[in-house]
């Protein structure tokens, strides 16, 4: 297993455009998380899936953001009508359902730049 995979690694988009990111978790990891990290800050929680069910969403996840995890495998995060403030690193992490949730493995992230 090669770990958590995110695609694309970098995305430059014009303000107002929609973007979609993909995350492939470690196989058999039931838990999947999305975080956002801006320069000089720690990751901020966006949303959490257990299998295909989205169980928690942060207030940071405005109506322009939507995440899915069909069939409990890969996940997508879509941002509609992007704004310059959306520029950040979007991180995906996964962890097994058994055991403590602290063993979260992060992907390399997708760096979004909105121009």
Partner 1 sequence: QKEVEQDPGPLSVPEGAIVSLNCTYSNSAFQYFMWYRQYSRKGPELLMYTYSSGNKEDGRFTAQVDKSSKYISLFIRDSQPSDSATYLCAFDRGSTLGRLYFGRGTQLTVWP
Binding piece for partner 1, criterion CB under 8 A, among 14-22, 67-75, 77-85, 101-109:
101-109
| Nearest partner of 3 among 107, 111, 115, judged by Cα | 107
Binding piece for partner 1, criterion CB under 8 A, among 14-22, 40-48, 66-74, 77-85:
40-48
- Does 74 contact partner 1 by CB under 8 A? no
- Does 100 contact partner 1 by CB under 8 A? yes
Binding piece for partner 1, criterion CB under 8 A, among 14-22, 43-51, 65-73, 75-83:
43-51
CA Rg, the chain, in Å? 13
Phi, psi of 34 (to 5 degrees): -115, 135
Residues 63, 79: contact at Cβ < 8 Å? no
Show Cβ contacts of residue 57 under 8 Å, excluding neighbours closer than 6 positions. 46, 47, 48
Binding site for partner 1 (CB under 8 A): 4, 31, 33, 35, 40-45, 48, 55-56, 91, 93, 95, 100-109, 111
């Amino acid at each position: 297993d090669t770990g958590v995979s995110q695609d694309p690694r970098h995305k430059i988009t014009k303000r107002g455009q929609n973007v979609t990111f993909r995350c492939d978790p470690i196989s058999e990891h039931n838990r999947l998380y999305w975080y956002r990290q801006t320069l000089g800050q720690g990751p901020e929680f966006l949303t959490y899936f257990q299998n295909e069910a989205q169980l928690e969403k942060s207030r940071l996840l405005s109506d322009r953001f939507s995440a899915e995890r069909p069939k409990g495998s890969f996940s997508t995060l879509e941002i509609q009508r992007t704004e310059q403030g959306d520029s950040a690193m979007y991180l995906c992490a996964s962890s097994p359902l058994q055991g403590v949730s602290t063993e979260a493995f992060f992907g390399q992230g997708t760096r979004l730049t909105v121009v």
